[in-house]
Amino acid sequence: ADFIQTNLTKVGALAVTVEAIDPEQLNIPVERVKEIKSTVASLRLDAVAGIGYGVSRSRMAREIKMAKVKVNWRPVTDPDYKVDVGDVLSMRGRGRVVVAELGGETKKGRLVVKLNRLL
């Protein structure tokens, strides 16, 4: 902490001063999450992202082809990209969706997926 206080004097072109505070003084906002549980025919990016963002699979496929959707902070342009548990889907202007959990199969052969949409 002392090293940072004495040596961090500029951030970019701006002069800054640094002071140590207690961890209790930090105001860390609580992440607000909306849990979405649904079924998909497959773990294709367009299907999972469509459920997470509340749009049709065909519209999501167009958005993906225009490179508006990222998976784990990397642009993906292939709508049939397979997502996995822990993947973070992000879309500019719509927020982030985390693939939280994969459930079993339904009687009709669809996959149960649980998504967390960060608000």
pLDDT at residue 1 in the model: 74
Residue 119 confidence (pLDDT) above 90: no
CA pair distance 48, 69, nearest whole angstrom:
12
Domains located in the chain, CATH noted: 32-118 (3.10.290.10)
pLDDT at position 46, please? 98
Q: Mention every residue, 6+ apart, whose C-beta is less than 8 A from residue 7.
A: none
Q: Is 58 helix (H, G, I), strand (E, B) or coil?
A: helix
Question: pLDDT tens digits for 23-48?
Answer: 899 998 888 999 999 999 999 999 99
* Interval 54-66: pLDDT, tens: 999 999 999 999 9
pLDDT of residue 36: 98
pLDDT score at 50 = 98
Q: Is the pLDDT of residue 90 over 90?
A: yes
Rg of the Cα atoms in the chain = 20
- 3-class SS at 91? strand
The structure tokens listed for 36 are 């979405």
